[in-house]
Structure 1
Amino acid sequence: MNQILEKIKAYDTILIHRHKNPDPDALGSQAGLRAILRANFPDKKIYAVGFDEPTLTFLTQMDQVTLAENEKHLSIVCDTANRPRIDDDRWQTADCLIKIDHHPNDDAYGDLLLVEDFRSSASEIIADFALQNELVITDEAARLLYAGIVGDTGRFLYPATSAKTLYIASKLAAYDFDRSSLGREMSSFDMKVARLQGYIYENLQVSDNGAARIVLTQALLNQFDLTDAETSKIVGVPGNIRTIESWAIFVEQKDGHYRVRMRSKTRPINEIAKLHDGGGHPLASGANSFSLEENEQIWQQLQDNLK
C-alpha cells in the first residue's frame, strides 16, 4: 500500500480503470478511488475511464478525457482479474500500471499489485487503503465504496463477508449519504425484469443433484425488451430455491456466442469457468460459450462437479 501511494504521488495524470460490463463493485472501487484521490491531491488530473453502463449511472459516470500526445500517466486498474477485461485500452500506454483486485491472481499483470482474494470486494480494499493511509474520504467516496461492498457481498450474505468487511462498512456508513435510498436503488428493477424472473422460475432446468440452468436467447431478450446488462439483476434468482446448489445462466449475445454467469452456494465452480474462456471467484464466476455443444459441456461439468 505504501508503494502504491508513493506512485500516486509521483504522477500528475492518473487514469483509473475497471472491467468491462461493470457491476457496483467495479464502479464503486473505481469512482470511489477517484473521489478519494481528487480530495487528497487536488492539483492532479485524475479520471475514471470506460463505458458508461446505462443501468448504473445512478452510482457514477465516467470522465471523457483526451490525453496529450506522449503524456505520461499512471493507470490504476480496479476489480479486474485479467487484461482482456480491462475497459479503456490506455492502460497499455501507461508509464506505470497498478492492479488492485480481489479475484484469484491468475493474470498477475502490472508493475505493482495489491491483490487480496480473501476480500469481499475491490471496494473494501480501496476503503482499507484510504483508512490505513489516513486519506480524506469524502461523503461521495464513502457512498460509492459502500455500494461496491454491498453489491459484491449480496448485502453481506456471501461467504467472503468477514468481520473486517463489516468493520469497514460501518466506517463508511458513518459518512453523510442516504444508505436507505442507495439500497432501494440497488435492489429495485423494472417490471420487465420481474417478468423475466417469472420466466426463469417457470423454465429453470434442475438436475437431481442440485445443478440448474436457464438459457436466455436473443429472441427472448427482445421479447422482454431487455439488454444483456439488465439480465444481471436475475443472476441470483435460481439460488433462492433451497434445493439448488450451483447454477448457470446462458445469455446469448448479438454475435451468437453465450455469456455464461455461474454461481454456487458451496462447491467451487471457477475451475469450470477457466475451461471456457472465463474465471472468477470460487463461488461466482463467468465464462463464454461459442456453440450449443459448448453449452452442453458446461452444463454437464456443472452437474458432475456436484457428484
Structure 2
Amino acid sequence: MSIQTEIYQEVAAANPIIIHRHQRPDPDAIGSQMGLAAIIKASFPDKQVYCVGKQYEGFKSLGTTDEISDETYQNALVIVVDTANQPRVDDQRFTTGKKLIKIDHHPNDDQFGDLMWVNDEASSVSEMIYDWYDANPALKMSDHAAELLYTGIVGDTGRFKYPATTSHTFWVASQLAQHDFSTTDVAQKEDEIDIPLAHLAAYVYQNLQITESGAAYVFLTNEVIAQMELGDDSTSAVVPLPGNIKQVVAWAIFVQQKDGSYRIRLRSKGPSINELAKLHHGGGHPLASGATAADETEIKTVVEQLNQVTTAYATERNA
C-alpha cells in the first residue's frame, strides 16, 4: 500500500482533522495547508477540518486560520505540512491529537509522526498535495483548492526558476491551471509590494555586501525596519532580491529581533547552505535555509562560513 493511500485512509476515517504548518509561513506553507483542507472539505463535506497557526494579514486572501480549543485535539487526526523540524511547527499542540501525519519536502532530519510522507525532491508540499489527490480517485479538487496549490508551487519555485522545478512540477501546474482561477492574478499577487517594501528593496540593494567569491549579506536592524514602518514578518519579500545580481552565488539576510539577536535567511544559487544553517540552530533545503545568530561574534562567523562555502564552490567549478 502506498503512503498516499495510507494517508487517504486515515483522512477518510478521521473526524475532526487539524492541519498545521510552520511558523512565519510562506506561500507553500499556506497553500498546502489551506489547499489540503479545501480538498478534504470538498471530498468529505461532513468532516470538521481546521487550519491553525498565526494569522498574517498578507495571506488573508488565501484563507484565515481557525481558533480551536485544546479539547478539539482529543480524537483528532493532526497533519503537519511543510515543516521539517518540530520546534518550527506553528502551535505546539500538534502532538496532542489521536494520530499525527507529517507531509514535507525538506530533508527528513527530524522524523516525527505516526505516518511520514517526505519527498525532498518535490518542488513544494503543494505539489505533493496534488499528487496525493491524483493518487486517490475518490478525492475532489475544488477551484479554490487548485488556486491555493498553484499559489504554493509558484511561491516555492520562485516562479518556476529554482532548481527543484521539474517536468512533473510543470505537469502539476498545468493540471491545476485547468480549474477556474486566474494564473495571472496569482503571479501578480505574489509579485506585488507596497511602497514601504519598495523602500526596503532599495535599501537591500544599496547596502548589500558582496565578497569576491560571491557571498553576499545585508543587515536589517530594528531601526531600519522601524523607519520603513515594517514588521519583521514583512522582510520575507526581499529575501530573493540578492539572487538577481549576477555576481551573487549565495547570500544571507540578517533580520534583527527585538531581543537584539538576528534571524538569518540563507539562500543559494548552487552551493548547499543547509549544513551551515544547522551550525547555527537552523536548517532547511540545500538552497534555502534559516538560522539564528545571538550576537556580533556569531554574525561574523556566519559571514566567514558563507564565504568559505562560496569559495569552495568556485574552486570546484573551476577545477
Q: TM-score range by the shorter chain?
A: over 0.9
- Alignment correspondent of 1:294: 298
Q: In the alignment, which of 245, 250, 265 is matched to residue 249 of structure 2?
A: 245
Following TM superposition, by how much is the alpha carbon of 1:305 offset from its aligned partner in structure 2, in angstroms? 0.7
Range that drifts further, 66-75 or 180-189: 66-75
Residue 30 of structure 1 pairs with residue 27 of structure 2:
no
Alpha carbons of 1:69 and 1:48: their partners in 2 closer, same or farther (altered >3 Å)?
closer
> Residue type of the partner of 1:38?
K
- Alignment correspondent of 2:12: 9
Q: Which runs of 5+ in 1 are unaligned?
A: none
- Alignment correspondent of 1:221: 225
Q: Look up the SS of the partner of 2:54 in the other structure.
A: coil
User: 2 CA distance for matches of 1:270 and 1:89?
Assistant: 24
- Alignment correspondent of 1:129: 132
Residue 266 of structure 1 pairs with residue 254 of structure 2:
no
Contact 1:36 1:136 in 2 (8 A): yes
Q: In the alignment, which of 113, 122, 126 is matched to residue 110 of structure 1?
A: 113
- Alignment correspondent of 2:209: 205
Following TM superposition, by how much is the alpha carbon of 1:71 offset from its aligned partner in structure 2, in angstroms? 2.9
> Residue type of the partner of 2:196?
K
Alpha carbons of 1:133 and 1:69: their partners in 2 closer, same or farther (altered >3 Å)?
closer
Residue 42 of structure 1 pairs with residue 45 of structure 2:
yes
Q: Look up the SS of the partner of 1:247 in the other structure.
A: strand
User: 1 CA distance for matches of 2:149 and 2:13?
Assistant: 25
Give the structure-1-normalised TM-score. Answer: 0.98
User: 2 CA distance for matches of 1:8 and 1:255?
Assistant: 41
Q: Look up the SS of the partner of 1:239 in the other structure.
A: helix
User: 2 CA distance for matches of 1:305 and 1:71?
Assistant: 47
Q: Which runs of 5+ in 2 are unaligned?
A: 312-319
Q: Look up the SS of the partner of 1:306 in the other structure.
A: helix
- Alignment correspondent of 2:282: 278
Range that drifts further, 162-171 or 56-65: 56-65
Contact 2:27 2:155 in 1 (8 A): yes
Runs of 4+ in 1 over 6 A off after TM superposition: none
Superposed counterparts of 1:20-99, under 5 Å: 20-66=23-69, 68=71, 71-99=74-102
Alpha carbons of 1:119 and 1:47: their partners in 2 closer, same or farther (altered >3 Å)?
same
Contact 1:257 1:289 in 2 (8 A): yes
- Alignment correspondent of 2:316: none
User: 1 CA distance for matches of 2:32 and 2:40?
Assistant: 12
User: 1 CA distance for matches of 2:305 and 2:101?
Assistant: 35
User: 1 CA distance for matches of 2:9 and 2:238?
Assistant: 41
Contact 1:79 1:101 in 2 (8 A): yes
Following TM superposition, by how much is the alpha carbon of 1:306 offset from its aligned partner in structure 2, in angstroms? 1.6
Following TM superposition, by how much is the alpha carbon of 1:198 offset from its aligned partner in structure 2, in angstroms? 1.1
Following TM superposition, by how much is the alpha carbon of 1:62 offset from its aligned partner in structure 2, in angstroms? 0.7
Residue 139 of structure 1 pairs with residue 143 of structure 2:
yes
Following TM superposition, by how much is the alpha carbon of 1:190 offset from its aligned partner in structure 2, in angstroms? 0.6
User: 2 CA distance for matches of 1:291 and 1:304?
Assistant: 20
Q: Look up the SS of the partner of 1:213 in the other structure.
A: strand
Following TM superposition, by how much is the alpha carbon of 1:220 offset from its aligned partner in structure 2, in angstroms? 0.6
- Alignment correspondent of 1:151: 155
Contact 1:55 1:229 in 2 (8 A): no
Aligned-pair identity (%): 49
User: 2 CA distance for matches of 1:68 and 1:105?
Assistant: 30
Following TM superposition, by how much is the alpha carbon of 1:69 offset from its aligned partner in structure 2, in angstroms? 6.7
- Alignment correspondent of 2:186: 182
Contact 2:221 2:256 in 1 (8 A): yes
Q: Look up the SS of the partner of 2:161 in the other structure.
A: coil
Q: Look up the SS of the partner of 2:289 in the other structure.
A: strand
Contact 2:73 2:98 in 1 (8 A): no
User: 1 CA distance for matches of 2:215 and 2:98?
Assistant: 46
Following TM superposition, by how much is the alpha carbon of 1:67 offset from its aligned partner in structure 2, in angstroms? 5.0
User: 2 CA distance for matches of 1:89 and 1:41?
Assistant: 26
Give the structure-2-normalised TM-score. Answer: 0.94
User: 1 CA distance for matches of 2:5 and 2:59?
Assistant: 32
- Alignment correspondent of 1:193: 197
User: 2 CA distance for matches of 1:215 and 1:245?
Assistant: 18
Contact 2:5 2:135 in 1 (8 A): no
Cα deviation, 1:136-183, whole Å, max 9, x if unaligned, reads 100000000000000000010000000110000000000001221121
Cα deviation, 1:195-215, whole Å, max 9, x if unaligned, reads 111111111111111101000
